[in-house]
Amino acid sequence: MKVGTILDLVDLGTIALPEFQRGYVWNRDQVRSLMDSLYRRHPVGSLLVWKTSVDSAATRGDGSSPTGSVDLLLDGQQRITTLYGIVRGRPPRFFDGNAQAFVGLHFNLIDESFEFFAPLKMKDNPVWIDVSRLMRGDVGTAMQPLMPHLEGMGIDFSTCLNRLSAIQQIRDIDFHIDQVTGADKTIDVVVDIFNRVNSGGTKLSKGDLALAKICASWPEARDEMKCRLSKWEKAGFQFRLEWFLRCINALVTGEAMFAALAKVDTPTFQAGVIDAEKRVDSLLNLISSRLGLDHDQVLGSRYSLPLLVRYLDQKGGKLPAFEEQNQLLYWYVHSFLWGRYAGSTESILNQDLELVERHGDDFEPLIQQLQQLRGDLRLSQRDFLGSTRGARFYPLLYMLTRVHEAKDWGSGVTLNKFLLGNQAQLHLHHVFPKALLRKHGYSQSEANALANFTFLTADTNLEVSDKDPVVYLPTYLAKHPGAVESHWIPSDPELWKIERYRDFLSARRELLAQASNDFLDGLRGGQAKTERVAEPILEREATIPMADRLGSIGSEDEERAVRECNEWIVERGLPPGTLLLELVDQTSGEPTALLDLAWPDGLQEGLSQPVALLLEEDEPVEAAANRAGFRFFTSVAEFKSYVRGEVLALELTAV
């Protein structure tokens, strides 16, 4: 079928996009590559469509489909969307993505290359032809303004005409179309076919499949859920669509497996979206106001929230009494300290949901279950041996700062009055500056030890800068008595000396463990030091600095490199990596390493192996990544070379 005919059928709604398909993800390099191949009449692959009745599957877009059957694109969305955008000069109605990927494409009449509009290079330069304008007009009209310039351009009339015609005639190129038909082709079967033919891209997960079924009867489901995610993101929390779907599933069915949603009718699911949003709101407000965990990076164990959503719904959506809240929060803190949901999330969540079903509003069985698994829930100084912001005990350190009303050294003000993202931000502070430690031969992991972290206001953090603790700590001890001690800083001045750094860490870990046990014991006993340490999080919009979302991976330069690398990946239509991915020993459940930026399912699920970017990491981290099956790169340049050579080249032939 000719390209022009396919685009006409898209306009008519006869060719559409199934709701389970992801949006447009191509980047400009891929757009240029497609157009160059078509211009030179190179093969670009066939299309695969699912011919089905309009009632069998939901389609994307705001237009109405014709009665009878519709051809839903299973393979070829990126190519057809690109061609539609260039030929029509606008995205198709099912478009979901960044239209700038195909807007402004130009063709160079001399060297026959395709590039996107660059004002300094192309403005008033007749060599460059706007491809979309040419597609919407005719060759004769395009030739007229070129006639006075042909001689100066070094190109004759015939060559110019042939090259412009070759672009227009892309609309007449035939695409072979394979069809999936038959009454036996249910959406489950079709999604499986989609995953097989789309092996070069990201496969659909169980959550995608469940959502596809829901969207078949409620097309707006995805957008409705995304609205909730957007609200939480504005408050400083980033959740995935599948996570929210799991919360809804737990609330509506009491189960973790997405297969349970097959029995849920549309009205019930719609009510579940609204109720789950309310329960999540209540839980985020509770966790932020009672524990001070007020942004994404310190929200541990996000997969405990589906369980808590179900629990809260059973209580009619009302938060329990204060003493019962303490039990809930005690369990929640321990769930992230010991990685309760770091492994097989669905099976573990099902176990915990069953306990909630059997014991109603009593959290003691859940606590006892954690005790049986751990043997002892009391913390020791060894538990604070981790490093970097991604460590499990980092949220605990942040929480202690809030609930114990630690004081800012420079102002003497209690830090629970400061919210991350406000004008007076909490900043992560290294008690012993990293530069000082490196100068004296300490490793990067030692410099980023959890016991070397504390939190101060931005002004005080800047004031301290890279001063030696022996110099600056006595100043603050005198200025605001009790402020330094409120951060569990060992009182012995000998431990503030650089040569005693390791002794300082050991002493501070003991103090942190004691403070943690005191607070957690208070929760377990039904009492706590304070009822509220902050305002509910959803009553304000937090502008979380990107640096705080990503974490202090080792240095500001390293953090910037990781962030920019992740953005570079997304710009090329590939899935974003997971920041500070925690590797967990499958036998013990203990964390073994943190990877700066990682793709545990590969950049192309099912086709490429797990991959990670490790910058300035020690050998044990690299060894742990290797044992876990990750192919890792220790420089951004090497990683990008891998992506260009082995991933993008492969993807262009597979999409």
DSSP 451-518: GGEEEEEHHHHHHHTT--HHHHHHHHHHHSTTTTGGGT--S-GGGGSGGGHHHHHHHHHHHHHHHHHH
Q: Show the beta-strand stretches assigned E in 158-308.
A: 177-180
| Residues 531, 560 share a domain | no
| Residues 338, 394 share a domain | no
316-325, 412-421, 523-532, 634-643 — most confident range? 634-643
| Residues 276, 172 share a domain | no
Q: Examine the fold and report which residue of 491, 521, 545 is the final residue of a domain before the chain moves on.
A: 545
Q: Tell me which of 243-252, 339-348, 450-459, 521-530 is least confident.
A: 521-530
**Predicted local distance difference test score (pLDDT) of residue 374:** 83
Rounded Cα–Cα distance for residues 535 and 555 (Å): 31
What is the rounded average pLDDT of the residues 418-425? 45
| Residues 272, 385 share a domain | no
CA distances from 527 to 7, 94, 454, 497 (A): 67, 54, 26, 39
| Residues 288, 217 share a domain | yes
- How would residue 555 be classed by pLDDT, with cut points 50, 70 and 90? low
Does the pLDDT value for residue 620 go beyond 80? Answer: no
- How would residue 167 be classed by pLDDT, with cut points 50, 70 and 90? very high
What is the rounded average pLDDT of the residues 81-104? 86
Rounded Cα–Cα distance for residues 453 and 487 (Å): 10
Rounded Cα–Cα distance for residues 619 and 604 (Å): 27
Question: Which residues, at least 6 apart from 145, have a Cβ–Cβ distance to it below 8 Å?
Answer: 126
| Residues 104, 25 share a domain | yes
| Eight-state DSSP code of residue 42 | -
- How do residues 264-317 score in pLDDT, each as one tens digit? 999 999 999 999 999 999 999 999 989 988 888 788 888 899 999 999 998 888
**Predicted local distance difference test score (pLDDT) of residue 417:** 58
Rounded Cα–Cα distance for residues 406 and 454 (Å): 10
Asked if the structure places residue 640 within a domain, the reply is yes
Question: 68: helix, coil or strand?
Answer: coil
| Residues 321, 286 share a domain | yes
- How do residues 467-502 score in pLDDT, each as one tens digit? 999 999 999 999 999 999 999 999 999 999 999 999
| Residues 451, 330 share a domain | no
Does the pLDDT value for residue 56 go beyond 70? Answer: no
User: For residues 429 and 406, is the Cβ–Cβ distance under 8 A?
Assistant: no
Does the pLDDT value for residue 458 go beyond 90? Answer: no
| 128, β-bridge pairs | 108
| Residues 536, 559 share a domain | no
DSSP secondary structure string, 98-143?
A: -GGGTTTEEEETTT--EEE--HHHHTT-TTEEEHHHHHHS-HHHHH
User: 525 or 534, which is more confident?
Assistant: 525
> The tokens 């009553």 sit on which residue?
539
**Predicted local distance difference test score (pLDDT) of residue 548:** 33
Q: Tell me which of 49-63, 428-442, 603-617 is least confident.
A: 49-63
**Predicted local distance difference test score (pLDDT) of residue 529:** 53
| Residues 134, 33 share a domain | yes
∠ Cα 191 197 200 (to 5°): 110
Closest CA to 345 of 212, 238, 247: 247
Asked if the structure places residue 188 within a domain, the reply is no
> The tokens 């997304």 sit on which residue?
570
Residue 351: CB atoms within 10 A of its CB come to 14
User: 415 or 506, which is more confident?
Assistant: 506
What is the rounded average pLDDT of the residues 391-415? 89
What is the rounded average pLDDT of the residues 630-652? 81
Asked if the structure places residue 185 within a domain, the reply is no
Phi, psi angle pair for 606, to nearest 5°:
85, -10
Does the pLDDT value for residue 540 go beyond 60? Answer: no
Asked if the structure places residue 281 within a domain, the reply is yes
92-101, 189-198, 544-553 — most confident range? 92-101
Task: Give Dmax (Cα) for the chain.
Answer: 90
Find the Cα–Cα–Cα–Cα dihedral 181, 183, 185, 186, rounded to 10°.
140
Asked if the structure places residue 12 within a domain, the reply is yes
Question: 263: helix, coil or strand?
Answer: helix
What is the rounded average pLDDT of the residues 513-523? 93
590: its two tokens: 């203990």
Q: Examine the fold and report which residue of 135, 150, 180 is the final residue of a domain before the chain moves on.
A: 180
| Residues 403, 532 share a domain | yes
Q: Examine the fold and report which residue of 374, 404, 431 is the final residue of a domain before the chain moves on.
A: 374
Asked if the structure places residue 196 within a domain, the reply is no
CA atoms within 13 A on the CB side of 155: 22
Mean pLDDT, all residues of the chain: 83
- How do residues 129-160 score in pLDDT, each as one tens digit? 999 999 998 888 888 888 888 888 888 899 99
Number of compact structural domains in the chain: 4
| Residues 500, 587 share a domain | no
**Predicted local distance difference test score (pLDDT) of residue 482:** 95
Does the pLDDT value for residue 248 go beyond 90? Answer: yes
548: left (phi over 0), alpha (psi -120 to 50) or beta: alpha
Does the pLDDT value for residue 636 go beyond 80? Answer: yes
Domain that holds residue 583: 553-654
Q: How many residues does the chain have?
A: 655
Does the pLDDT value for residue 570 go beyond 90? Answer: no
CA distances from 346 to 33, 241, 255, 460, 512 (A): 41, 16, 9, 44, 33
> The tokens 């599948």 sit on which residue?
242
**Predicted local distance difference test score (pLDDT) of residue 163:** 93
Over the range 56-72, which residues count as b (16 or more CB within 10 Å of their CB) and which as e?
A: bbbbbbeeebeeeebbb
Rounded Cα–Cα distance for residues 430 and 489 (Å): 12
Asked if the structure places residue 190 within a domain, the reply is no
Asked if the structure places residue 72 within a domain, the reply is yes
What is the rounded average pLDDT of the residues 316-327? 86
